[in-house]
């Protein structure tokens, strides 16, 4: 387990292998995905500095740039594919690419030794504003209306971020903080593996049924994600800030995009969001190598 903890790429690679080779395991985990999310947010928030969070709110310049990278730049890149894909696929690409930052960026920033407080502010604002931004972007680029349940999304944010975050701050005042902090990295690694299996396994068949299209989309989406990470990475002034801005700018809330596509449209529209889920997870592997290389260069 220590090897998997120190080499996140191996943990993610193993989780992706299990997702495709043994999808039944992921089906069993699917009902617990939100609980895993909340547990990981709790672990990532136990050492958060509240003053650092407030400073992000009072100095929003770089946060605004990150929000533009999350919601505006990705759909612009997808425009280049419009002449080559069906209307449904293009709608799915715009829907997935304009989705908010994934809640997972909080604990990913923690795991990659970034600044979780920056990631928390960005993903909270991105998801909080998405009921307004996402329909506007989809209508602007595609000309079709998308209705989002603002109340439902707000309650989900409170459940997945606010409640575990506040609970962590309460526990942080007790003697349990040291023990949780000591075991946190191992628990985060295990939880991330289970989370990936629980998300990817149930959609495995959709991806394999459209294998060629999925692979072509994966190449383009992968390039877009890497571009967004590099742009976000260069916003930060310290290595910790660079890591958090890069991850928050590139890691999408593909779960939301998938749910919207299936509930409002059809499987063809949902395919890009499913590809996003796999590619986002897969790119976490070279991400570790890139960050470690930059740390060595900075020494």
How far CA 103 is from CA of 10, 76, 275, in Å, comes to 22, 23, 18
Give CA angle at 68 (274, 156), nearest 5°.
55
Tell if the pTM clears 0.85, that is, is over it.
no
Determine the pLDDT at residue 207: 86
Is the pLDDT reported for residue 165 higher than 70? yes
* 8 A C-beta contact, residue 23 and residue 147: no
Cβ within 8 Å of residue 50, ≥6 positions away: 169
133-166 burial by CB neighbour count: b if 16+ within 10 A, else e?
Answer: bbbebbeebbeeebebeeeebeeebeebbeebbe
Q: Which residue has the higher pLDDT, 72 or 198?
A: 72
Radius of gyration of the chain, Cα coordinates, nearest whole angstrom:
18
Is the pLDDT reported for residue 35 higher than 70? yes
Determine the pLDDT at residue 134: 84
Q: Domain segments of the chain: what residues? A: 2-298
CA distance 193 to 292: 21
Determine the pLDDT at residue 4: 61
* 8 A C-beta contact, residue 93 and residue 84: no
79-116 pLDDT, tens digit each: 999 999 998 899 999 989 998 898 778 878 888 889 88
243-269 pLDDT, tens digit each: 999 999 999 887 778 877 877 788 888
CATH architecture of 2-298: Up-down Bundle (1.20)
176-208 pLDDT, tens digit each: 888 888 887 788 888 888 888 888 888 888 888
* 8 A C-beta contact, residue 221 and residue 279: yes
């Amino acid at each position: 387990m220590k090897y998997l903890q120190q080499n996140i790429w191996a943990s993610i690679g193993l989780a992706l292998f299990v997702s495709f080779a043994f999808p039944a395991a992921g089906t069993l985990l699917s009902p617990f995905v939100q609980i895993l999310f909340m547990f990981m947010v709790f672990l990532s928030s136990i050492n958060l500095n509240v003053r650092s969070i407030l400073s992000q709110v009072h100095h929003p310049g770089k946060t605004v740039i990150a929000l533009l990278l999350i919601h505006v730049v990705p759909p612009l890149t997808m425009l280049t594919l419009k002449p080559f894909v069906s209307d449904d696929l293009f709608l799915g690409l715009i829907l997935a690419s304009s989705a908010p930052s994934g809640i997972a960026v909080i604990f990913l920033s923690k795991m990659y030794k970034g600044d979780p407080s920056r990631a928390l502010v960005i993903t909270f604002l991105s998801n909080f504003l998405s009921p307004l931004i996402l329909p506007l972007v989809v209508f602007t680029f595609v000309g079709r209306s998308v209705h989002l349940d603002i109340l439902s999304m707000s309650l989900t944010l409170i459940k997945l971020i606010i409640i575990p975050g506040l609970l962590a701050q309460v526990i942080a005042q007790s003697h349990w903080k040291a023990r949780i902090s000591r075991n946190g990295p191992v628990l985060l690694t295990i939880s991330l593996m289970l989370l990936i299996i629980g998300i990817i396994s149930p959609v495995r068949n959709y991806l394999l049924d459209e294998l060629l299209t999925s692979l072509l989309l994966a190449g383009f989406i992968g390039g877009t994600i890497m571009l967004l990470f590099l742009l976000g990475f260069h916003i930060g002034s310290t290595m910790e800030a660079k890591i958090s801005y890069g991850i928050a700018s590139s890691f999408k809330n593909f779960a939301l995009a998938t749910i919207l596509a299936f509930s409002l449209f059809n499987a063809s529209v949902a395919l890009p969001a499913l590809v996003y889920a796999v590619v986002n997870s897969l790119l976490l592997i070279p991400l570790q190598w890139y960050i470690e290389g930059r740390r060595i260069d900075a020494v």
